[in-house]
């Protein structure tokens, strides 16, 4: 198969086999290192790197839920201010991380914290609506136990960085300057290929148009089916009208859900 491995493990420096979850952790560390020194100019004033300050819960997420081949990988864009920016977990709405995923761990602070976007970790009282809809409103409704969901599915973000303007407004990667996007996309593309190579899904489902576009560009030569579901963000007017029903219908249309 083009672009896919036939093996489920990699070799360590001593020649021993490395499990998928270990390889996922290694790939995340490479992404963290590759994006660590990237700079971003006006109107971005603050860059949050949750793979740095919330690494412990992120690593636990990969180790606990990344093992084994997946049928479907769901791909988001980048951390939200009250989701992954707080918890280190993609679409990491606090109650879902704590009560459904049952993840914990040390969460520190960004190097430079925006006064209007404090990182409070699992003590954050603000809810990430996108994560609330995705984890509780969709996945947990169908799979009461997280381990059942992750047997065949996985959720990741394309970009590990969150960007904020002086006002505290979230600035999404698609609105960055082209000269800033090139090195960022290079690092994120490499990680996406590694993720798909390791998990070997049949489907990649972009959560929103941006993720789907990046997947189609990066994985265009791979033996992989790519689709898209409606993004759950409340800033998307269509998502505020029966989002669960719409997305369920989309997933059934792909044949991802029966």
pLDDT exceeds 50 at position 247: yes
Q: Give the pLDDT band (50/70/90) at residue 159.
A: very high
Quote the CA–CA distance of 62 and 55 in Å, as a whole number. Answer: 11
The pLDDT tens digits of the residues spanning 187-200 come to 999 999 999 999 99
pLDDT exceeds 60 at position 2: no
What percent of the chain is predicted at pLDDT more than 70?
A: 93
> Where are the domains positioned within the chain?
20-253
The pLDDT tens digits of the residues spanning 97-109 come to 999 999 999 999 9
Residues contacting residue 203 through CB under 8 Å, at least 6 positions apart:
71, 72, 73, 224, 225, 226, 227, 254, 256
Q: What is the mean pLDDT of residues 156-180?
A: 97
What is the chain's mean pLDDT, rounded?
94
| Predicted pLDDT of residue 8 | 42
Q: Which of 198, 202, 195 is nearest to 9 (CA)?
A: 198
| Predicted pLDDT of residue 18 | 66
**Buried b or exposed e, range 213-230, using 16+ CB within 10 angstroms:** ebbeebbeebebebbbbb
The tokens describing 113, both together, are 């914290």
pTM, 2 dp: 0.94
Query: Is the model more confident about 5 or about 164?
Result: 164
Count Cβ atoms within 10 A of the Cβ of residue 241 and give its class: 0-12 exposed, 13-18 middle, 19 or more buried: exposed
pLDDT exceeds 70 at position 140: yes
| Predicted pLDDT of residue 4 | 52
| Predicted pLDDT of residue 127 | 94
pLDDT exceeds 60 at position 180: yes
pLDDT exceeds 50 at position 70: yes
Q: Give the pLDDT band (50/70/90) at residue 258.
A: confident
Element (H, E) at 73: strand 72-76
- Radius of gyration for the chain, computed over Cα atoms and rounded to the nearest angstrom: 17
| Predicted pLDDT of residue 164 | 98
Domain 20-253: CATH superfamily, name plus number: Uracil-DNA glycosylase-like domain (3.40.470.10)
Q: Which of 78, 97, 81 is nearest to 89 (CA)?
A: 97
Residue 89, Ramachandran bin (φ over 0: left; ψ between -120 and 50: alpha; else beta): beta
The pLDDT tens digits of the residues spanning 217-246 come to 999 999 999 999 999 999 999 999 999 999
The pLDDT tens digits of the residues spanning 32-51 come to 999 999 999 999 999 999 99
Quote the CA–CA distance of 123 and 115 in Å, as a whole number. Answer: 17
pLDDT exceeds 90 at position 13: no
């Amino acid at each position: 198969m083009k672009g896919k491995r036939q093996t489920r493990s990699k070799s360590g420096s001593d020649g021993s086999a490395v499990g998928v979850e270990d390889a996922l952790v290694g790939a995340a560390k490479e992404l963290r290192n590759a994006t660590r020194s990237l700079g971003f100019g006006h109107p971005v004033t603050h860059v949050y790197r949750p793979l740095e300050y919330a690494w412990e819960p992120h690593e636990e997420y990969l180790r606990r839920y990344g093992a084994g081949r997946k049928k479907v990988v769901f791909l988001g864009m980048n951390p939200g201010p009250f989701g992954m920016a707080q918890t280190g977990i993609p679409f990491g709405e606090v109650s879902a991380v704590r009560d459904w995923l049952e993840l914990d761990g040390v969460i520190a602070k960004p190097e430079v914290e925006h006064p209007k976007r404090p990182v409070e970790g699992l003590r954050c009282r603000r809810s990430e609506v996108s994560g609330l809809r995705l984890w509780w409103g969709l996945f947990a409704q169908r799979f009461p136990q997280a381990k059942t969901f992750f047997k065949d599915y996985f959720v990741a973000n394309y970009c590990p960085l969150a960007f904020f303007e002086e006002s505290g407004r979230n600035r999404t990667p698609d609105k960055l300057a082209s000269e800033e996007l090139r090195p960022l996309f290079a690092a994120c593309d490499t990680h996406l290929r590694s993720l798909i190579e390791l998990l070997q899904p049949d489907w990649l489902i972009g959560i929103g148009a941006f993720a789907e576009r990046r997947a189609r560009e990066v994985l265009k030569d791979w033996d992989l089916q790519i689709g898209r579901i409606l993004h759950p963000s409340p800033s998307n007017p269509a998502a505020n009208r029966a989002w669960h029903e719409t997305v369920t219908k989309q997933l059934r249309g792909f044949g991802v859900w029966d």
